[in-house]
Chain A
Amino acid sequence: MNLNPLRNEISTGPLIGCKWLGHWTPYAEAIAENYENWWPWFSTLTVNLGAPPDFFTQFTEMQKDDVLIFGAHAVLNDFPFYFLQITHEQTGIPWVAPNIVPFAPVTAYAGTNVAGPAKFPEAFFYPKNTRLRLDWSSIDPSAPNLDPCTFTFIGVQLTGPKGGRAPEEVTMPDGSITRVGSRIPLFLTIGAGQRSVGTQIFTFGNNSQAVQYMPGLDCDVEIHDASLNFFFGYQSFITNLRLKYVAMGIESGWTPSFSPFMSFYGRPGADYPNLPFCKPWTLPAAHRQQINMINPNDAAPLNNGLLTLRGVRKCFY
């Protein structure tokens, strides 16, 4: 029998989950080994969005050394309403895949408040002398004037590159060679229910069913975990929401029957705000994912619910 153990190696290591426990991915470790010194690094930004709709763009400071960003933390009260798109200005690659929802909830990026930081599915290699652009949005007309959000990137500053410059490629656990900068955190976001023409937010009507699709991408991506931006404390009837998940390209239903939302999606404030898949799954290029959802509640509809899958974009442009 010709087994191929290396093929099954998990590219982000054997411990699955977004909780920040101090462990590194093999990609991050392989990059760091090309530098003399590794130092803790934090970059904190503050944003305060006003009455919706409101938008704000800010940039991280250019760094004099290369940095690996592992995850993020956010201090905020109004977490269901803060949405964020991050773009690496130098390459122009957005972290949230282009879609009718052009951002992800801040809680998909960051652990909140006392729950502590959350890590990205893969460390982001942040080259020196470049910037990250953060585009913040608040669009829900029912949102209040938002309290400020303090957002912190958590990473490692790498100094003294061996050979005088950053590595161009590293070896992954399966033996393959990966270009440094080709593994980028990826967010796929869609709304729960249907989009309202008037307000642009998603509304999931009571006693209704909706089907939504995640966008297909132009290269293979790893999907790691899933989250939503609201939870039962805000919407008591969320406990009754059900979903059935289908990977369209290979027509594989993941759920024999409808399953509770909370068995699939993590929620803000939990140990794992992005609930992991048992094993990261490779979504082939151009394949879409279907979410068939049911809201059997008789009570008021769910407004402004966003569902996010996180993963790793494996493209190199």
Chain B
Amino acid sequence: MYFFNKYIMRILDYYRNHLELIDTIAIGFTGVAGQRVAPVFTNEISEDVLYFGAQVNFSSADTLVRIKSISPQYDWMADDNAVPQDTPVNAIAGVFSQSLPVLPLVQPYFIKKQGRLQMNFTNSPTIALTGGLWTWRALRLTQPINGVGWDYSIGFA
């Protein structure tokens, strides 16, 4: 389900320990069709984190999301349109009730400590959801061998 390519192994090499992290974020839908709620963020973690996959606790094919990393500044969704088309959540996250309840990312995403992911959700226009939880499966990277750990600028050195 998860594949550790050389790029990921290179990041892991900078840390002595890798701990499981399960980060659940409340989306806050209020049952309004097509509602665009305020952005939600992953919890700030006191160590560097590798995000591997995601799950939502609702089944709705036309609920949308736009994800960006606050630090480093990186927008996951490439889109040059004046009115960008956000991405269906099922393209990124598994659904709790389906055969693959956690969907692995194509490439795990690294964030340094205290970094956050921002997620902008748009409620389904057909099945107006209330509440909603998004859960990230991740690794917390502790005890950096060089005292600092991996950094965005290092790349696949």
Which residues of chain A have a CB within 8 Å of any CB of chain B? 1-5, 7-10, 14-17, 19, 115, 232, 239, 245, 247, 252, 254-260, 262-264, 266-267, 269-272, 275-279, 281
Among B5, B21, B43, find the residue whose CB has the most chain A CB atoms closer than 10 A.
B21
Q: Tell which of A4, A262, A264 touches B13, judged by Cβ atoms closer than 8 Å.
A: A4
What is the total number of residues of chain B having a CB less than 8 Å from a CB of chain A? Answer: 41
Q: A16-B2, A260-B135 are in contact. Are A275 and B9 (CB under 8 A)?
A: no
Q: Are B99 and A16 in contact (CB under 8 A)?
A: no
Stretch of B29-37, B49-57, B63-71, B121-129 contacting A (4+ beta carbons < 8 Å): B49-57
**Is B86 engaged at the interface, CB distance under 8 Å to the other chain?**
no
**Is B12 engaged at the interface, CB distance under 8 Å to the other chain?**
yes
Chain B residue at minimal CB-CB distance from A265: B101
Q: Are A254 and B145 in contact (CB under 8 A)?
A: no
Q: Tell which of A8, A260, A279 touches B24, judged by Cβ atoms closer than 8 Å.
A: A260
Q: Tell which of A232, A267, A279 touches B18, judged by Cβ atoms closer than 8 Å.
A: A279
Chain A residue at minimal CB-CB distance from B55: A263
Q: Are B21 and A262 in contact (CB under 8 A)?
A: no
Among A7, A8, A232, A272, find the residue whose CB has the most chain B CB atoms closer than 10 A.
A8
Q: Are B24 and A252 in contact (CB under 8 A)?
A: no
Q: Are B2 and A259 in contact (CB under 8 A)?
A: no
Q: Are B2 and A17 in contact (CB under 8 A)?
A: yes
Point out the residues of chain A lying under 8 angstroms from B43, CB to CB. 256-257
**Is B138 engaged at the interface, CB distance under 8 Å to the other chain?**
yes
The CA of A266 and the CA of B1, in the complex, are separated in Å by 13
Chain A residue at minimal CB-CB distance from B23: A256
Q: Are B20 and A281 in contact (CB under 8 A)?
A: yes
With contacts A260-B57, A263-B57 known, what are 14 further pairs, Cβ within 8 A? A2-B145, A3-B13, A5-B13, A7-B13, A14-B5, A15-B4, A17-B2, A115-B99, A254-B21, A254-B22, A256-B24, A263-B55, A264-B22, A270-B99
Q: Tell which of B101, B102, B139 touches A279, judged by Cβ atoms closer than 8 Å.
A: B139
Point out the residues of chain A lying under 8 angstroms from B18, CB to CB. 8, 279, 281
Q: Are B53 and A271 in contact (CB under 8 A)?
A: no
- Whole-angstrom distance from the CB of A231 to the nearest CB of chain B? 9
Q: A8-B13, A262-B55, A279-B139 are in contact. Are A14 and B22 (CB under 8 A)?
A: no
Q: Are A19 and B97 in contact (CB under 8 A)?
A: no
Q: Are B139 and A263 in contact (CB under 8 A)?
A: no
In the assembled complex, 28 residue pairs joining A and B whose CB atoms fall closer than 8 Å, in A order, are A1-B146, A3-B13, A3-B146, A4-B13, A5-B10, A8-B18, A14-B5, A16-B2, A16-B4, A232-B96, A239-B57, A245-B22, A256-B23, A256-B43, A257-B43, A259-B22, A259-B24, A260-B135, A263-B57, A263-B102, A267-B101, A270-B101, A271-B99, A276-B2, A277-B137, A278-B52, A278-B138, A279-B12
Point out the residues of chain A lying under 8 angstroms from B3, CB to CB. 14-16
The CA of A168 and the CA of B139, in the complex, are separated in Å by 35
Q: Are B23 and A278 in contact (CB under 8 A)?
A: no
Chain B residue at minimal CB-CB distance from A233: B97
- Whole-angstrom distance from the CB of B142 to the nearest CB of chain A? 8
- Whole-angstrom distance from the CB of A246 to the nearest CB of chain B? 11
- Whole-angstrom distance from the CB of B67 to the nearest CB of chain A? 17
The CA of A158 and the CA of B60, in the complex, are separated in Å by 49
**Is B40 engaged at the interface, CB distance under 8 Å to the other chain?**
no
Q: Tell which of A8, A259, A276 touches B12, judged by Cβ atoms closer than 8 Å.
A: A8
- Whole-angstrom distance from the CB of B71 to the nearest CB of chain A? 18
Point out the residues of chain A lying under 8 angstroms from B135, CB to CB. 259-260, 263
**Scoring B residues 83 to 106 as 1 if CB is less than 8 Å from chain A, else 0, what string do you get?**
000000000000011111110000
Point out the residues of chain A lying under 8 angstroms from B55, CB to CB. 260, 262-263
- Whole-angstrom distance from the CB of B128 to the nearest CB of chain A? 18
Q: Are A263 and B137 in contact (CB under 8 A)?
A: yes
Q: A262-B101, A271-B99, A272-B100 are in contact. Are A278 and B57 (CB under 8 A)?
A: no
Q: Are A8 and B139 in contact (CB under 8 A)?
A: no
